[in-house]
Amino acid sequence: NAGVTQTPKFQVLKTGQSMTLQCAQDMNHNSMYWYRQDPGMGLRLIYYSASEGTTDKGEVPNGYNVSRLNKREFSLRLESAAPSQTSVYFCASTAVPAVPDTQYFGPGTRLTVL
Partner 1 sequence: DQQVKQNSPSLSVQEGRISILNCDYTNSMFDYFLWYKKYPAEGPTFLISISSIKDKNEDGRFTVFLNKSAKHLSLHIVPSQPGDSAVYFCAASVGNNDMRFGAGTRLTVKP
Cβ 8 to partner 1 shortest distance, Å: 14
Q: How many residues bind partner 1 (CB under 8 A)?
A: 31
7-31 exposure pattern, b = at least 16 Cβ within 10 A, e = fewer: eeeebebeeeeeeebbbbbeeebeb
Report whether 33 contacts 91 (CB < 8 A). yes
Separation between Cα atoms, residue 48 and residue 91, nearest integer Å: 9
Should residue 64 be labelled a site residue for partner 1 when binding is judged by CB under 8 A? no
Q: Is the CB of 14 or the CB of 101 nearer to partner 1?
A: 101
Q: Rule CB under 8 A: say whether 44 interacts with partner 1.
A: yes
Is residue 45 part of the contact set for partner 1 (CB under 8 A)?
A: yes
Q: Does 53 bind partner 1 (CB under 8 A)?
A: no
- Work out the number of other CB atoms within 10 angstroms of the CB of residue 58: 16
Q: How far is the CB of 78 from partner 1 (least distance, A)?
A: 20
